Each structure stands twice: as C-alpha cells, then as structure tokens.
Structure 1
Amino acid sequence: MRLSGERSRIIPQGEYVDTTCYVKRYRVYATRWLVLAVCCLLALSNAMLWMSFTTLTEEVNEFYCNGSDCSASFFTNQIFQLVAVITGIGGMYITDNYGIRLSIMCGTSLNFFGSLIRAASSVPVVGDLIMRQVLLHTGSVIVASAQAFFLVLPSKVAEAWFPENQRSLANVLTFIANPLGVVFGTVTPSLFFNGNAQSERTSWHMFMATTLTFLLSLFIRHGSPPTPPSVSSENHSSNVPPFWKSIIACFRSRQFFRSCLFRSLYDCMPPLFSYPTSLAALIGVVASLICGVVADCTKKFKELIRVCWVCFAFTVIFTRFVIVCVVVGEVPHDKHRC
C-alpha cells in the first residue's frame, strides 16, 4: 500500500482527453464566386483584346497606317503570343510564392492600363500615325503581360476556394473563359463595327470590359479562405513543393509531355484545315462544360481523358479519310487512292 502511494506521488497521472468525437470542420465561402468571376472576366476580356483586330485588318490598317500595309493587326496578334512565352515563368513564380490575390491584382491592373493605352491610340486627337502605332503596340505588350498571371489561376482558385464536388466545374469555367473571349473578340467587332469610321470604337468597348474586371478585383480581400473548404485543400496548402522542384518534376512527367503534344496538335489543326477560330473555340467551350459536369459527378478523371483521346484519334482518322477519299478522290487520276 505504501509503495503504491509513493508511486502515485512520484508519477502523477496525466490528464485524459477524449478525442473520439473530434471532427475537423471545413467551410466554403460565398466569396469564392467573386474570385471565380474575376478570373473568368480577366481571361475573357484579355482574349477579346487579343483577337479584336483579326477580323478588322483593312479597317485597322486604314486607321493606324493610313491605308498602307503596315500589318498592325498581325503584329498585335503576335505580340500576345511572344509576351506570354517570355513572362510565363515569372507569373507562375509570383502566384506560387505570393498568393492568388496578388496574381489577380497584377493581372487585372495590367489588363486595365494596357487596354486604356490601346484605347488612347484610337482617339482622333492623336493624329500622328507613328504615335498611334506606338500606343497600340505598347498597350498590347502590357495587356499581353497579364496572361502570365491568369493562365495559372484556374487550378489554384479551384483548389483553394472550392469543395471537391465543385472543383472540376470551377476549373472548367475559368478555362473556357479564354476560348469564349476568342469567340467574342472574333465575332463581335465584325458584327457591330463595320466601316472605317467605327473601327476606332472597338478599343473603347473592350476597355469597358477590362474596367469592370479591375473594379471587381478590388473587392477581393484574401487570396485564400481562412478555413479550407476540404481536406485536400488543407493538405495541398501545407505540402506544396518548392517552385523550381515543381518545374523539374513537370519535365520528368510523361503525362506533361502528352498534354503538350495534345495541345500542340489541337492548336495546329484549326488553321491547317481552315476551320474558323471562333467555331473551334465555341465547340471547345461546350465540350469543356460537359466534361466538367461529368467529372464532378463521376470523379472518373482518367477514364474521361482516355475517352477524349480515343475521340481525338477517331476524328483525325475520319478527317484524313474525308480529305483523301472525298476531296482528293474527285480528281480523276487520284481515284485509285480510295
């Protein structure tokens, strides 16, 4: 009895805590829809600025070059692609290290001020043609720099703000905003701005879209929610590898190169077969929405990707058959090819 009493004094019993009923609580915020809307509008307005002059080549040359062939619309288009390649790594680094909110603010600010400079180039007061072209291309470079920030946002926003049952849909909505902007940027100017006298108004209407996006971005107070929406979001935020290790891991991944190959083939096919850019983008928007809903409901991502690959392969085979046997087969000396 004495030994037992001494032992109880020397080694006191620890406090017992019952953890069997402890449940981690997660929360979703209505702010996620504002963040998603800003990302979608940013991608949409940027793509509209990118494609706004492609269908107004003659009007653009008439206004900025006084009718001479200075290829203003061509260089504006190429600026977007070149700047995106140069600034892409920097945008990814800033987003990974400084958060979603800073990336959104950088993207919307560049988009806003760049479109303002482009709109200033269309003011009739600026009579010097060289000054007009300088303002046009300077604004295009600034607008194109915004791509480095919003192109990496879809997966980041979906992972940080949305629960698992809405994540694929959030990804799809931000991804399709860019091709939808291509549709609007290609079709809208040719429908509403026919004629040389009205071509200068295009930049001001595009500027209104970027202004709305910039104003909405000012209401975003946090890059990530105070409480994560799901377990995977919490684990992802705490187990993020260093930036450069992630880049190296991409180049070691077979799936990464498959995705690059698929995207390269996708980008080459529409102009190769003379498909309208707006039509290809519109079909991509509809297909992406369907796949996003299916992925959210079934969670069968690998199976969905395999189905897309099979459909793509059959489409290529069918297209080749049509070209060889229908188009080329109409020539008498080539009928034996079918």
Structure 2
Amino acid sequence: DVWDSKQVTAVEITFDGPGIFNVDGEVLEHDGFLRIRVLPAALQLLVGKDEVASAGPAEEAVLPTWRADPARWRMLLLYMFGCMSNQAVWIGFAPIESEVMTEYGVSATFVNFLSMIFMIVYLPANFPASYAMDVLGCRWALLVGGCLQTFGVILRCLPADPVTARYLVMSGQALAAVGQPFFTDMPPKIAADWFPAYQRVLADTLASLAMPVGAAVGFVLPVALGLRPMLYFHLAWSALFLSLTFLFFKAAPATPPSPTRKHHEGKSFGQELAAALCNGNLWCLILSFSCSMGSFNTSSTLAAQLVGPFGYSADDASIFGVVTTFCGVLGALAMSVVVGLTGAHKAVLTTCCVLCVLFALLAALTVIYVGDGPWGLELLALAFGGLGFSAIPLMPISFEAAVMVSQAGEGTLAGLCMSGGQILGIGQTLILGELLQSGHPRVAWILLGVLFLVALLAVSLFAPKGKSFDLLLREESSVEASRTSCSS
C-alpha cells in the first residue's frame, strides 16, 4: 500500500476531480490539480493507504486517520501564556531585592533563596511532572502545574505581619516551584502531540522561548509596578491561565498529527525511562546540554557580580540581560529554521557550542584586559548577546535531538535534560558565588568558559544515526508497513 515514500522538492498531482489530499498531516483541498513546493529537506511526501483513500473525488473522499489539528496553534499559545507566568513568578523578587528586604525584614540571602528554591525543588518534582505529561497528557499536566502555581501566589498575597508574611512568601514560592517542571518539560511533548513532523522544531522553539521571554517580563514587572502590585498581578495572571486551560485546552487533537504519534501511544513509562538511562547517545546530549545551559543560566543569574569587580554597574548588568534575551530570541528562531530546512541537529548543536566557547572567551578577555575602558561596554554587550544567540537555541534543538535517539516520552527526555542543567546550575552558582565573594572573579570567568568547552566535547560524541527527516520517514514507513501486514 505504500506506493511512494521519498524526499521531494516539488510535486504536481492531477486528479479526476475536486477533492482533498493529506500531505504530512496537512489536509489540502484541490480542484483537480495540486502543485506542492517543498523546502529542501524540510518535508517528505508519505503516501500510503490513508492518502489513497482521501485522494478521490470530493463526494467519495474520506478524511485520513491522521492529520494536523487546526487548533494546535491555540494550544501552543495557551501553553506559552502559562509558562511565561511561571517564569515571571520565579524571577520576580530579584530585581527589587532592597524593597523585599525592607518589606519582610529579611537578608539578601533570603531574597536570593526565593529564586534558588525553583532550582532545588525542580529535581524531586521533575519525574512526577514527566509522568503526568507522558501518561496523562498535556492538559492534565498543565492543570496540575497551574493549580500549584495559583495556590502558591495566593499564599504570597495573604495579609499578615512581616514575620508570618515572609514564611507565606517562601511557601508560595515553593508551591509555584513544584509546578515549574509541569511547564518547562513540556515543549517537546506539546510539539509531538499536536504538530506534524515538519513543524515540530518550530513548535518546540516557540514553546521554549516562552521561558526567557517570561523571565524578561518578570524582570520588568516588579520595577514598573513595585512589590505589592506585582504580587497581585502574578495572581491575576496565574488565575487567568488556569481558567483558560480548564475551559479551552483540549486533552488531545481530534486526530493524531502523524502515523508515528499513533504508534507511540500507550507505552510503559518505566520501561521507557530505563531504556533512556541506558542510552549512551542520550547521555552525551544531556552532558552537553547541562554544561552549556548551566553555565549560561549561572552567567545570567550572577551577571552583576561577574562584571561588578571590573568597574561595571548594576545598570550595565541590566543592559547585558536585555541584550542576551533579545539576541537569544533571534538565535532560537534562526537556528530552528536551519534545523527545519536541513534536519542536521548535531551540526547546529556543535555550531552553537562553538559560538558559546568563543563568546565566553570574548567576555573573559574583555573584563580581564579591557575592563570598563574604551569599548569595554560594547564588547561585553556583544559577548553577552552572542552567548544568548548561541545558548538559548540549545534548549529546543537538544529536546528534539533527544527525541531522535530515544523512544522515551518527550516529557521524560526534557526532564532528564533539564535536571542535568539544574544540578550543574545550582553547583556553578554556589561555586562561582564563593569565588566572587573571595575575590577571584577571573577564575570564575575561566570556569564558565571551561564548562562551555566541556559541552562542545560532549556534543562531538553525540552520534545520531541519520538526519531527523530520514529517521522520521523510515519510522513512518515501517509503521505503515506494519499496519498493512496486520490488515492482510
């Protein structure tokens, strides 16, 4: 029944009359003639018995058993809205440290812990979140994460004396932190559940971008509104997301977006996790992701402390943060387009890691040898922008590469990658913080660069067996063949 299965750049099909035709999950209406132009290596035309059945005259055509649901973009936007709110809750206290210290009568360490608790709580909460995604689906995972976050921000808004209020705030942050992996592990899962193969990298990238964009919004809100209005804004945002998810987020698309999505339903979570932990290729990817994202997150978190000893102010550090986020969005979009056109995950990951090493080296040389002298600010802004451009795309592309080399659930794979990043992020933050406090900022910068180099070495050992499109095509063909043999 599979009478054509190949990669093409263009195709023209003539039919007996008007009808519909399925191209990789997109059901196209035609008037008897269909011309399809395909971007290089971005799409395969898989024609099997479902397509044969749906290619006849309009009055005889039947809808195929798999197609892309038009509601997928609404589901993605709704997820991004919630993920941004979670990131804003995470980082909200950091920009107004002095106001928080005055309001609750706490130390700077307490304020830092309000953000660090998200990294600490993430590790035990990660696998329950992955299980909820891969077994119960995106809707239930978002409802659980949304409830935890909403209850947490309610606690932060309860009226109380300063001593009680500080514990309510910490408890609220802890609850929201438990809900974090229900958001941050979801990009590859929602991409696989709702999008056809040729749109998954784009969907994963857009979903992942909700994290840095949400953090950027989280930096702006407290400065613009102040502490108390920010808390109420977070509450309204979280409650609105939870309500919209309950009312409008679907449990599953009306039809699977691809044959492989039907094939992967109903697998054992425990067996998939055990197989993933025995996958050497996946461990290379996790190590590369952990070192690069851990170093990037640490450099972003400690930006003011890293550049302060060399004559730069907190305002300069804020400029570096804005440049990093802006360039990161551009980099993620650009790299996702490259992967979408070529399917070359390893080449793009290697390029990103090389750029991370080069820009980390530029930043270290600038602060050590130029300092706050002529062109120092511009060079350092270029270095931070380059780090954002090359490091932020590593998240969605690593998620999709992990799906290529492992049959485990997408939420589980994202959770493994993010857990490694969180562990190294916590360790690097503590070590670099100690180095900075003890007067060794140069050593801190050197350590950041070394870990980016380790990430590059790890990704060089990553060896996928083929390009993503070839793997998907072979798998979809085998699925179609197995269905044919079963029916016969």
Do they fold alike, i.e. is TM over 0.5?
yes
Summarize deviations over 1:185-216 as a string: whole Å, max 9, x none: 112211333xxxxx311100111211221111
Residues 1:59 and 2:99 are matched in the alignment:
yes
1:310 to 1:78, Cα distance in 2 relative to 1, 3 A: closer
The equivalent residue for 2:263 is 235
How far is the alpha carbon of 1:162 from its aligned partner?
0.7
The equivalent residue for 2:169 is 136
Are the equivalent residues in 2 in contact too, given 1:179–1:282 (CA < 8 A)? no
Q: Secondary structure at the match of 1:168?
A: helix
Query: Which letter does structure 2 place at the counterpart of 1:39?
Result: Y
Give the alignment partner of residue 49 of structure 1, picking from 89, 94, 105. Answer: 89
Map 1:213-224 → 2, pairs under 5 A? 213-220=241-248, 222-224=250-252
Paired residues in the alignment total 300
How far is the alpha carbon of 1:70 from its aligned partner?
7.0
Indicate the larger mover: 174-183 or 217-226: 217-226
Are the equivalent residues in 1 in contact too, given 2:97–2:108 (CA < 8 A)? no
Residues 1:112 and 2:150 are matched in the alignment:
yes
Are the equivalent residues in 2 in contact too, given 1:183–1:279 (CA < 8 A)? no
TM-score (norm 2): 0.56
Q: Partners of 1:322 and 1:134 in 2: how far apart? A: 42
Q: Partners of 1:154 and 1:191 in 2: how far apart? A: 30
Indicate the larger mover: 207-216 or 24-33: 24-33
1:116 to 1:243, Cα distance in 2 relative to 1, 3 A: farther
The equivalent residue for 2:386 is none
How far is the alpha carbon of 1:224 from its aligned partner?
2.4
Are the equivalent residues in 2 in contact too, given 1:42–1:107 (CA < 8 A)? no
Q: Secondary structure at the match of 1:200?
A: helix
Q: Partners of 2:79 and 2:138 in 1: how far apart? A: 10
Summarize deviations over 1:123-148 as a string: whole Å, max 9, x none: 4xx3x222211221111111111112
How far is the alpha carbon of 1:158 from its aligned partner?
0.2
Q: Partners of 1:149 and 1:203 in 2: how far apart? A: 21
The equivalent residue for 2:339 is 295
The equivalent residue for 1:225 is 253
Q: Partners of 1:112 and 1:317 in 2: how far apart? A: 42
How far is the alpha carbon of 1:183 from its aligned partner?
0.7
The equivalent residue for 2:74 is 34
How far is the alpha carbon of 1:322 from its aligned partner?
2.9
The equivalent residue for 1:16 is none
Are the equivalent residues in 1 in contact too, given 2:75–2:249 (CA < 8 A)? no
The equivalent residue for 1:321 is 365
How far is the alpha carbon of 1:225 from its aligned partner?
1.9
Are the equivalent residues in 2 in contact too, given 1:165–1:297 (CA < 8 A)? no
Map 1:61-80 → 2, pairs under 5 A? 61-65=101-105, 69=107, 71-80=109-118
The equivalent residue for 2:127 is 89
1:181 to 1:246, Cα distance in 2 relative to 1, 3 A: farther
Summarize deviations over 1:192-247 as a string: whole Å, max 9, x none: 33xxxxx3111001112112211110124643224211233233336676243144
1:292 to 1:119, Cα distance in 2 relative to 1, 3 A: farther
How far is the alpha carbon of 1:155 from its aligned partner?
0.4
The equivalent residue for 1:336 is none
1:38 to 1:327, Cα distance in 2 relative to 1, 3 A: same
Q: Partners of 2:332 and 2:268 in 1: how far apart? A: 28
Residues 1:205 and 2:233 are matched in the alignment:
yes
Residues 1:146 and 2:179 are matched in the alignment:
yes
Summarize deviations over 1:87-127 as a string: whole Å, max 9, x none: 1122112222222221111011111121122122xx4xx3x
Residues 1:312 and 2:356 are matched in the alignment:
yes
Give the alignment partner of residue 170 of structure 1, picking from 190, 203, 206. Answer: 203
Q: Partners of 1:74 and 1:318 in 2: how far apart? A: 28
Give the alignment partner of residue 277 of structure 2, picking from 233, 248, 258. Answer: 248
1:111 to 1:174, Cα distance in 2 relative to 1, 3 A: same
Q: Partners of 1:206 and 1:250 in 2: how far apart? A: 40
How far is the alpha carbon of 1:171 from its aligned partner?
0.6
Summarize deviations over 1:2-47 as a string: whole Å, max 9, x none: xxxxxxxxxxxxxxxxx79457542222332232122212210011
1:160 to 1:315, Cα distance in 2 relative to 1, 3 A: same
Query: Which letter does structure 2 place at the counterpart of 1:96?
Result: D
How far is the alpha carbon of 1:287 from its aligned partner?
1.5
Q: Partners of 1:157 and 1:89 in 2: how far apart? A: 17
The equivalent residue for 1:5 is none
Query: Which letter does structure 2 place at the counterpart of 1:223?
Result: A
How far is the alpha carbon of 1:72 from its aligned partner?
4.3
Higher relative contact order (CA 8 A, sep 6+): 1
The equivalent residue for 1:269 is 299
Q: Partners of 2:242 and 2:265 in 1: how far apart? A: 27
Query: Which letter does structure 1 place at the counterpart of 2:125?
Result: T
- Structure 1 or 2, whichever has the larger Rg, is 1
Are the equivalent residues in 2 in contact too, given 1:84–1:144 (CA < 8 A)? yes
Q: Secondary structure at the match of 2:238?
A: helix
TM-score (norm 1): 0.79
Indicate the larger mover: 99-108 or 244-253: 244-253
Q: Secondary structure at the match of 1:237?
A: coil
Give the alignment partner of residue 215 of structure 2, picking from 178, 182, 188. Answer: 182
